[in-house]
Structure formats: C-alpha cells, structure tokens
Structure 1
Amino acid sequence: MRFEGTARYVADKDLMVAVNAAIRLERPLLVKGEPGTGKTELARQVAGALDLELIEWHVKSTTRAQQGLYEYDAVSRLRDSQLGDERFNDIRNYIKRGKLWDAFASDKKVVLLIDEIDKADIEFPNDLLQELDRNEFFVYETGETIRAQNRPIVIITSNNEKELPDAFLRRCFFHYIRFPEAETLSQIVEVHYPGIKQRLVSAALSRFYEVREVPGLKKKPSTSEALDWIRLLVADDIEPEDLRADAKNALPKLHGALLKNEQDVHLFEKLAFMARRQG
C-alpha cells in the first residue's frame, strides 16, 4: 500500500516518502505548513489514491478529545426514565459514537483525518495518546473495549498556532509542507485549470511572489488564494501586461483575492505613495 500522488494533487517526493513511511510504521502522520498549502486535501487524496474511506474530524477550539471517542447523553436518559420511555433500558441508546470509534469499528482500513489539531486546548493531543498508540479505548458506561479491527491511516494537520506536547510528537511521523516554488505552483495551477495560457500564469505567479515578499506583510497569500486569484484573472480576461506593478498602483489587480486585511492593503497603498513621491 503506497501513495504515489494523484492527477489532482501535486505531491513532491519528500511528501510521498513521509506518507508511505507513516503507513509502514503504522504511526500518525503529523503535517504542518502554512494555511492553504494542501494539508487537509492531502488526506482526501491519500484516501482516494488508496481506495479507502475517509473519516474527517475537524477540530475546533471547543473540541474535547472525548468527543472523538464517544459522548454519553445522561440528560436524555434521565428525561426518558421520567417519561417511562422504553429506550431507557438500553444505555447504548444514549451513547453517540465519535470519529475514532467509527474508524476503529470499520471492517476495512480507513484514512482518519484529524484536522487542525492545534486549534484545541493544549491537553487535547495528550488526551489522545493512548488511544492512538494502542488503537483501542474503553467505554465505561457499557464496560466494553473498542479495538481497531484494522489500524487506520491517521493524518493530523496543524497550522502551527501552538506548540504540541513532546509526548505526542514522539508518536508521530512529521512532515512540513514548504510553500511551493514557482515551478511547482505552476504545475498546481495547470492541474486545476488545464490548458490555461502560460503567459498569464507566468505573469501572475511573478506578481504573486512579489506580493508575498513585500516586507511587513501581515498575512502572506497562500496557494489556495493564488488559485482563486488566477481564476478571477482568467474570468475578467486580464492581460499579462496589466499585472506589472508600477508607482501609480502598487496594489495587484483584484487584490481582494490575495490581501485579506486592511493593514496589508494600507501597506501597499503606502508603498505606492512613497514610489510616486520618489518618482
């Protein structure tokens, strides 16, 4: 079982090595990188390439590790007992399975995505150590152990918003997705927009990297934002020559697709003003 990339996802050699190493070691693959570099999409493409079901667990700031295992609705059971509902007699009616339970209970190997783990509380990764390590957990309400029939391929993403515990990191295979170089990003554009005019792509990417390299930029535009921007350029039939920066207007065409806060817009306006004064 090897991942060799897909027609819809440009994966470099190091990334494919990381995925296959994690599969071989049967350890979670922890993927970090800038937002928009394809971390979440990687799990979907791995599942598609290996013809496996994908189970997605999107973590929020309020997510608790227990929710990935199961949740027991004691309030509903108490209410049903007061109303004389027959469901009360079976406690399993009040247990809601989580994403890890679904992955462990599957009769076939699956890909489990734990997306943006760094959004949750710092204790969240530690609370999953034993379950991910042993691929089993205990349900106290029913007295049963849920054990993985087939060890899932676990892919965990992080935007590096907070440091993860060392004990958790030791149990993972790690890969950092670097921001793609111009040649790789050009291939990604071609995958998403087959047959696009190469003159426009070349000019757009040249301008895109100029924007990313502006000192003081609060949020650098990502790969996904580059794709959205180029799609708009094609839709508006923008000529490659119109993308060049000049002293009159330092803001890129359709800059709302690239610059996502007022500080960065003001920065480009200030640069344009300074360039006009010097000119």
Structure 2
Amino acid sequence: MTKFSGSDNYVATDDLQLAVNAAVTLQRPLLIKGEPGTGKTMLAEEVAQAMGKRLISWHIKSTTKAQQGLYEYDAVSRLRDSQLGDDKVHDIKNYIKPGKLWEAFTSDEQVVLLIDEIDKADIEFPNDLLVELDRMEFSVYETGETITAKQRPIIIITSNNEKELPDAFLRRCFFHYIKFPDKKTMQAIIQVHFPDLKKDLLNAALETFFEVRDMPGLKKRPSTSELIDWIKLLVADDIPLETLQNKSIKEAIPPLYGALLKNEQDVEMLQKMAFIMRREG
C-alpha cells in the first residue's frame, strides 16, 4: 500500500506521517487532536488524495447520534405513505437511509472515512460506535440484514479537545497530537499556499504573527488557518513590507488584525499593550 508522505498541498511533519502510516498498518482509527485551525480535517482530504482513495466525510454536530452514521429509519414517512395507500410502504427498505459508515462499509474499493470533530457530540457517542468500528459490521434491526465492510476503511477521527473521550474508545485508536508548527514548519506551510511570496514579507509576517500568538492572556490564540487568511489580505491590500517591519506589536497594532484576533477582549488587550509600549518607548 502507498505510504503517506504529505503532499504538494499539505506539509506533514515526520511524526504525523509516521502516525498516519502506523494507523493504516494496524488497521486502527487514527485519532487526531490539536488546536482548531491546525489542519486536522485537511489531513483526511490529503491522505485520501495521496493514496488515491475516495473520501467520505461525516461532520459531527452537538445533535449528531451514532446511529445516524449507521442508518436512519423514517417511520413517519412510512406511516404517511400507508395512509395514502402508496405501494412502496410494503418494502421497509424504502424507508432506510444509509449513513456514512454504511456507505464506507459497502464501498467496493477501500475509502478514507473522516469522522470530524467527534468531541462535539454527546459523551456517549464514541462508545456507541465501539462495536461497529471493532467488528466492521452492524445489524439493521428493521430488515434483519447485517452490513459488513467489504474493505476496512482508513478511519481518521478529529477532535478539538472540547471533551474528554472515553478510555475504551481511546484504546482502540492510534493517537497523534498535531503540535502547533514552529517557525520553520510554518514557513514551509505558508510557501505551499503562497509560493511567490517574497521572503522578507514572509519573515516579517511570521515575526508579527508569533509576537501576537505568544502574548500572555490571549483568550483565542491565532491559528495556522488565520495566519493564511491574514497573509492573503496583506498580499491583496498590497501592505508594504515597512509597515510590518516597523510596527511590531511592541509599537503598534498589526494591520488587518481582525483576521488574527477573534474576540473583543483580545483586541482590547492588544490595544492596551500597544499603548503601554508606545508610552514606555
């Protein structure tokens, strides 16, 4: 099987490559944790592309139930059709809607299944999928059939660490935490997105970004995705290099800071710090 080694669009550290390939070899779900905006969801997309496999994405919400990943039975529609005398009411399969796990299990070719932001769901959600992920099969109660995986999917599960996941679930996963990129790795990531960006502007932008990010007391530290958005704006607005070089956080608020900071407390703190630094300077 093809080994994952990153892609032209995704900079994967050696540790992350090792984690992906280990999970594939062990045939275990890969549980990816990390700050929001560190590329967890994009990883699944790139793994699928690099390995030439179809991606099936199941994006989890606070209201999502594990059963929805298997299938849903629409009893209301069946009752309505029975009242209307519709012939299809006699075949219960007409009211079974396959979920994402069903789709992945019944695919003739191996797929990559992304279970995105699993920590958004109820605490029982991961436990409710233990048997299905272990045995790679589940039963459809209404029809009596068993859906068994034709090919074991490559499963990538992401979490933003909003909730602790159950130990029984964690034991079944290969775990990797995506550390926030250091400056060298971040430089490589930015160059993937902006290959023509001048080196001086890139270095100045990174310097300002990490100064903002390293401010003590920030409620929401800017992420990789926010840095990419910020640089896109800097390029689009043709912000001069001197603006970044001469106006660090110690002297003034960086231009277009709204791309980096996402709440009023952090903006206010940045403004106060800039004021104090200017006064002391």
**TM-score, normalised to structure 1's length?**
0.98
Identical amino acids, percent of aligned pairs: 70
* 2:270 match: 268
Aligned to 2:39: 38
Q: Give the gaps of 5 or more residues in structure 2.
A: none
Q: Distance in 2 between matches of 1:90 and 1:139?
A: 14
Matching of residues 42-81 of structure 1 within 5 Å? 42-81=43-82
Equivalence for 1:92: 93
Q: Displacement of 1:272 after TM fit? A: 2.0
- 1:173: which partner in 2? 174
Q: Secondary structure at the match of 2:126?
A: helix
**Cα shift readout 1:204-238 (whole Å, capped 9, x = no counterpart):** 00000000000110000000100110111111111
1:191 counterpart residue number: 192
Is the contact made by 2:208 and 2:249 (CA closer than 8 Å) also made in structure 1?
A: no
* Residue of structure 2 equivalent to 1:8: 9
1:278 to partner: Cα distance = 2.7
- Compute the displacement of 1:275 (Å): 2.2
2:252 is matched with which residue?
250
- Alpha-carbon offset, residue 241 of structure 1: 2.2
Q: What is the letter of the counterpart of residue 151 of structure 2?
A: N
What TM-score do the two structures reach when normalised by structure 2?
A: 0.97
Aligned in 2, Cα 1:211/1:246: closer, same or farther, shift over 3 Å? Answer: closer
CA contact (8 A) 1:251 1:265 kept: no
Letter in 2 for 1:226: L
SS in structure 2 at match of 1:202: helix
Which residue is equivalent to 1:141? 142
Letter in 2 for 1:61: S
Q: Quote the Cα distance in structure 1 between the aligned partners of 2:211 and 2:39.
A: 22
- Cα pair distance change 1:212/1:247, threshold 3 Å: closer
Please report how far the alpha carbon of residue 102 of structure 1 lies from its aligned counterpart in structure 2 after TM superposition: 0.1
Deviations 1:58-114 (A, max 9, x none): 000000000000000001101111111011010000000000000000011000000
Q: How does 1:147-166 map to 2 (within 5 A)?
A: 147-166=148-167
Aligned length: 279
Matching residue's letter, 2:258: G
Q: Secondary structure at the match of 1:142?
A: coil
Residue-by-residue CA offset, 1:97-155 (whole Å, 9 max, x unaligned): 00000000001100000000000000000000000111100000000000000000000
Helix, strand or coil at the partner of 2:94: helix
| RMSD across aligned positions (CA) | 1.2
Letter in structure 1 aligned against 2:52? D
Q: Tell me if structure 1 keeps the 8 A contact 2:104–2:153.
A: yes
Pairwise CA distance, 1:247? 7.9
* Alignment partner, residue 222 of structure 1: 223
- What does the per-residue CA deviation read over 1:143-173, in whole Å, with 9 as the maximum and x for residues that have no partner? 0000000000000000000100000000000
Q: Is the 8 A contact 2:208 2:248 kept in 1?
A: no
The runs of at least 4 consecutive aligned structure 1 residues that moved more than 4 Å come to 246-249
Residue 194 (structure 1) shift: 1.1
Q: Which residue of 2 aligns with 1:29?
A: 30
Provide the residue aligned with 2:213 in structure 1.
Answer: 212
- 8 Å CA contact retained: 2:16, 2:178: yes
Unaligned segments of structure 1, at least 5 residues: none
Return the offset for 1:246.
5.4
Work out the CA distance in 2 between the residues paired with 1:152 and 1:274. Answer: 55
Note if contact 2:252-2:278 (Cα within 8 Å) is conserved in structure 1: no
* CA distance in structure 1 between the aligned counterparts of 2:144 and 2:35, rounded to whole angstroms: 43
